[in-house]
Amino acid sequence: MSTPEPRTETAERDESRHDTRDDARPASEAPRPAHDEARADERPAMNRDGVPLARVRRAPRIMPFLLTGAVIGALAGLFVSLDGGDGGNYTASSSTGYLVVLFGALGTLLGGLAFVVADRRS
């Protein structure tokens, strides 16, 4: 039997830095938070090589909503200007341009609102 070496101050300081609690485990053995267990079914599927497959984002894109709203609004402005009466002091083309831009902007705004509603539902 060999006799243990006497402890030095530096060895005691080094030991005091380490966590000596019974429940201290390496990071690989640490318990998982509860939210990880709840999301176990949401983990991505793996292919044959063990590489995770990409997830498909099912959220709508904003540009189609805005462009559709702008086109529908511009067409509505065009129809209102063609059906409208006298433009007052403005020429027919300038009043048509104003209404197309105004209704196009309003349509873009409504398209953005439709996007927000669709995004919240997805």
Residues 83-117 have pLDDT tens digits of 877 778 888 889 999 999 999 999 999 999 999 99
Percent of all residues in the chain with a pLDDT value above 90, rounded to a whole number: 38
**Which class for 63: exposed (0-12), middle (13-18), buried (19 or more C-beta within 10 A)?**
exposed
Instruction: Give the pTM.
Output: 0.54
Give the whole-angstrom CA distance, residue 75 versus residue 78.
5
CA nearest neighbour of 89 among 80, 98, 100 = 98
Kindly state the DSSP code that residue 52 receives in the 8-state scheme: B
Residues (pLDDT < 70) of the chain are 1-44, 55-57
Percent of all residues in the chain with a pLDDT value above 70, rounded to a whole number: 61
